[in-house]
């Protein structure tokens, strides 16, 4: 029973160590991810500065494109030219 328990622990540990959940920078760039520049923290200190920035496929241009495609103005404002 002790041997089975030790084997299960070793297999679990081995599976966790060898799993590849995180992608490398090269793999992320192949997929089209771009680091977004700028800080999303108001009044950031040196301690608050992240080691990496937020990444999004296509960068800010893609975010702006998706937002502009999803915005729907009410009919009355469209008629008024707002």
Q: In this predicted model, what pLDDT tens digit does every residue of 41-53 receive, in sequence order?
A: 566 666 666 666 7
Residue 14 has pLDDT above 60, yes or no: yes
The predicted pLDDT at position 36 comes to 78
Instruction: Bin 43: left if φ > 0, else alpha if -120 < ψ < 50, else beta.
Output: left
Task: Please compute the mean of the pLDDT values over residues 55-73 and round it to a whole number.
Answer: 87
Return the minimum-mean-pLDDT range out of 14-18, 29-33, 55-59, 77-81: 14-18
The Cα 20–Cα 38 span in angstroms is 29
């Amino acid at each position: 029973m002790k041997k089975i328990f030790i084997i299960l622990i070793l297999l679990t540990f081995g599976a966790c160590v060898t799993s590849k959940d995180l992608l490398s920078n090269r793999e992320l760039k192949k997929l089209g991810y771009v680091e977004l520049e700028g800080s999303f923290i108001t009044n950031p200190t040196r301690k608050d500065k992240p080691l990496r920035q937020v990444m999004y496929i296509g960068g800010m241009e893609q975010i702006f494109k998706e937002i502009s495609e999803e915005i729907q103005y009410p009919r009355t404002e469209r008629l008024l030219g707002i």
